Structure 1
C-alpha cells in the first residue's frame, strides 16, 4: 500500500496562502473521528501521487508520525493552473464496509482482433478495508478471440477479495469494432468487374 506523508494544517491560515507557499490543502474525516482534521502536504509529492492514483485509492497516511488507513475521496485539480485545489481522505475502520470505486485498465489491446473501444473506466463497489481493490486489469492476451463485448458481469475479482459491485452488471466496459477496410474491397471488386468486361 502507498504511504503518503501529511501534516495537520492550521485552519486559521488561508488555503490560498498555503498554495502560494507550495502546499496542498485537504481534510481527513471518518466515522470514528470526533471531528475532521485539516491537513496539508507538499505540492510536488501530491502531484506525483495523483499522477499515479485516482479517487478510490487506498493509502496509508503518515500523519505527524501516526499511521492512518484511508481512502482518497476527492481530488480537486485545476488543469488550467496545473494545481491541486484540494485532496480529501476518509479514514477507514477495520471491518466497516465503505462505498468506493476502482479503475479498469485494459492491457495488451494490440492482441485484440479489431479496434478496442472502452466505454467504462471505473467500477463502483462496496468492501471493507481488507478487501479494497487497487485496480481491475483486463488482459487481452488471456481473452478468447471470440469476445467482442465485455460487461461488468464478466469481470473476475482477484482471488481472496470479497466485494459487492454496485455498478449494474449489464454495463458495457468495452466492445471490439471491426477494422475499417477503407474501400479496398470495393476497389478490388470494381477491378474484377472491369477485367471481366474486357
Structure 2
C-alpha cells in the first residue's frame, strides 16, 4: 500500500498561494474524525502517487507523523494547467462500508480484429468494507466476437458477497460492433466510372 506524506494546512493561507508554492490542497474526512482535517501535500508527491493509484485506491496518509488508512475519494484537476488542484480522502474504519469506485481496465483489446470495440462505462460504483474494496476491474475482451457484450452482472465482482455493486447490473460495459461500410458511396463511385 502506498504511503503519502501530508501536512496539516493552516486555513489562514489561501489555496491559490499554496498551489503557487508547489502544494496540492486537500481534506481528510471520516466517521471517526471529530472534524475534517485540511491538508497540503507536495505536488511532486501527488504526481508520483497518481501514477500507481487513482480515485478509489486505498493508501496510507501520514499527516505530521500520524498515519491514517484512507480512500482517495476525489481528485480535482485543473485542465488549463494540467495539474491536480485538490484531492480529498476518506479515513477508513474497518467495520464501516464505504462508497467507492473501481476503474474498468480492458485487456487483450489488440486481439479484437473483427468489429469495433466500444466501451460505455469507465468505472463501477460500489460499496464495501475497507478489506473488500477493489480499485480496478480487469475485463479480458480478447475472446469477444461481433455482437457480443459484457454487462455489469457478468463480472466476477458482481458475485462477490462482500461488495454491493451500485451500478445498474444490466448496464453494458463493453460491446463489439459490426464494422459498417458505406455501400451507397461505393455504388455511386461505380456508376460514375461506368458513365
Q: Does the Cα contact within 8 Å between 1:131 and 1:161 map onto a contact in 2?
A: no
Q: Does the Cα contact within 8 Å between 2:146 and 2:177 map onto a contact in 1?
A: no
Q: Does 1:46 align with 2:46?
A: yes
Unaligned ranges ≥5, structure 1:
none
Q: Does 1:81 align with 2:113?
A: no
Q: Does the Cα contact within 8 Å between 2:57 and 2:72 map onto a contact in 1?
A: yes
CA separation in 1, counterparts of 2:146 and 2:24?
Answer: 48
- Which residue number corresponds to residue 165 of structure 1? 165
- Which residue number corresponds to residue 139 of structure 1? 140
When the two chains are superposed, the root-mean-square deviation of aligned CA atoms in Å is 2.5
Unaligned ranges ≥5, structure 2:
none
Relative distance call for 1:109 and 1:16 in structure 2 (3 A) is: same
TM-score, normalised relative to structure 1: 0.84
Cα deviation per residue 1:57-115 (whole Å; 9 max; x = unaligned)?
21111222222111111211111022322111110001210111110110111222421
Cα deviation per residue 1:21-44 (whole Å; 9 max; x = unaligned)?
111111111100011111111111
CA separation in 1, counterparts of 2:18 and 2:161?
Answer: 40
Rg bigger for which structure?
Answer: 1
Partner SS, residue 48 of structure 2: helix
Partner SS, residue 126 of structure 1: strand
Cα deviation per residue 1:149-189 (whole Å; 9 max; x = unaligned)?
11100111299872110111000101101234565xx78xx
- Which residue number corresponds to residue 151 of structure 1? 151
Q: Does the Cα contact within 8 Å between 1:95 and 1:130 map onto a contact in 2?
A: no
Partner SS, residue 179 of structure 2: coil
TM-score, normalised relative to structure 2: 0.85
Partner SS, residue 77 of structure 1: strand
- Which residue number corresponds to residue 106 of structure 1? 106
Q: Does 1:125 align with 2:151?
A: no
CA separation in 1, counterparts of 2:70 and 2:47?
Answer: 18
